[in-house]
């Protein structure tokens, strides 16, 4: 019996569906449970059970989460948003004492992914190309336009802007507050869906071209096993030893044809279910790991050239507010 809980489930319907499909195809007994603070979060209505929890900022959240884990005999929590990762790291040992593991990397990896300046320093430290960056327009600031500005701790491309001149830069810097200002790299954007075992060994590395995005999440994508990109991502994996998923973003520069790394997310990215559907099925891999199976690296597991288009659907929710 393996019971999995998705916290802050929100709109992660595709991810939930892939885990339900994997569980059923492997004939594994257990529930998929979703939790969120908003009763109108779509993913709730695709789970076997769902729960409404307080906000992460509410002091009652951790007790409510613990009670849920005890009641549903949760074996594993899968977090879905950046803002809960640090919290779950801090409460990892306590949740383990309840019999619940968390699919989360070490706190050092979470910290590198959370803070964009630390991400920039990390890429430099392992010899990967990354856009020239500054934390603010201080005396050492030397940036040409256009450039790019975003929050030091942000996600989903919220408050991320291409900047054309000094006036715009000062405006956005005052608006955002704590930010990172980066060299603008023109080129093809890539997302790499990484999945590792619990010891940090790679199981799947799946690069995808980001053909089109909306609100920071991919809506059109194509599997492309670029070997240079894969080798660079292996350097990231070997250093961070992530537990489970890691999402890496890079841009292949039009100018020099090299990959410039810009982001790391220590969780399943929004487009991760597409790599699963293409053959790099990390949902199935995770169930197999939880069943005690030892997995090896599966290069090119996803179908090369597979293209996916994402679109909105609706569901009706009855008895809302009753």
Domains belonging to the chain, first-starting first, are 4-104 (3.40.50.20), 109-113+186-309 (3.30.470.20), 132-183 (3.30.1490)
pTM of this structure: 0.95
Spatial distance between the Cα atoms of 278 and 280, rounded to a whole number of angstroms: 6
pLDDT in tens, 251-273: 999 999 999 999 999 999 999 99
pLDDT at 165: 93
pLDDT at 139: 67
Q: Does residue 136 surpass a pLDDT of 80?
A: no
pLDDT in tens, 270-287: 999 999 999 999 999 999
Q: Mean pLDDT across the stretch 304-314? A: 96
pLDDT at 180: 94
pLDDT in tens, 196-224: 999 999 999 999 999 999 888 899 999 99
pLDDT in tens, 137-187: 666 788 889 999 999 987 777 889 999 999 999 999 999 999 999 999 999
Least confidently predicted of 65-69, 152-156, 235-239, 244-248: 152-156
Q: Are 218 and 247 in contact (CB under 8 A)?
A: no
């Amino acid at each position: 019996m393996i019971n999995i809980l998705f916290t802050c489930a929100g709109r992660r319907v595709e991810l939930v569906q892939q885990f339900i499909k994997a569980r059923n195809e492997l004939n594994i007994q257990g529930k998929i449970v979703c939790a969120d603070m908003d009763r109108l979060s779509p993913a709730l209505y695709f789970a076997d059970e769902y729960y409404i929890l307080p906000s992460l900022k509410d002091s009652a959240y951790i007790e409510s989460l613990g009670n849920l884990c005890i009641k549903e005999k949760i074996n594993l929590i899968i977090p879905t948003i950046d803002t809960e990762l640090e919290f779950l790291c801090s409460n990892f040992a306590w949740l383990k004492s309840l019999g619940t593991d968390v699919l989360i990397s070490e706190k050092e990896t979470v910290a590198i992914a959370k803070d964009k300046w630390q991400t920039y320093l990390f890429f430099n430290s392992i010899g990967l190309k990354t856009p020239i960056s500054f934390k603010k327009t201080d005396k050492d600031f030397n940036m040409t336009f256009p450039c790019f500005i975003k929050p030091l701790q942000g996600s989903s491309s919220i408050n991320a802007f291409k900047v054309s001149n000094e006036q715009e830069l000062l405006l956005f810097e005052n608006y955002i507050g704590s930010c990172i200002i980066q060299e603008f790299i023109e080129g093809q954007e890539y997302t790499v869906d990484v999945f590792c075992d619990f010891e940090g060994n790679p199981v799947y590395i799946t690069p995808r071209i980001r053909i089109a995005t909306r609100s920071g999440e991919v809506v059109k994508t194509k599997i492309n096993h670029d070997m240079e990109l894969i080798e660079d991502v292996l350097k990231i994996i070997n250093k961070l030893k992530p537990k489970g998923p890691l999402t890496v973003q890079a841009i292949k520069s039009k100018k020099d044809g090299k990959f410039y790394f810009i982001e790391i997310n220590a969780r399943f990215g929004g487009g991760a279910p597409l790599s699963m559907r293409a053959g790099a099925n990390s949902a199935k891999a995770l169930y197999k790991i939880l069943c005690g199976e030892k997995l090896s690296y599966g290069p090119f597991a996803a179908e090369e050239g597979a293209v996916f288009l994402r679109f909105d659907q609706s569901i009706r929710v009855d008895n809302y507010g009753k």
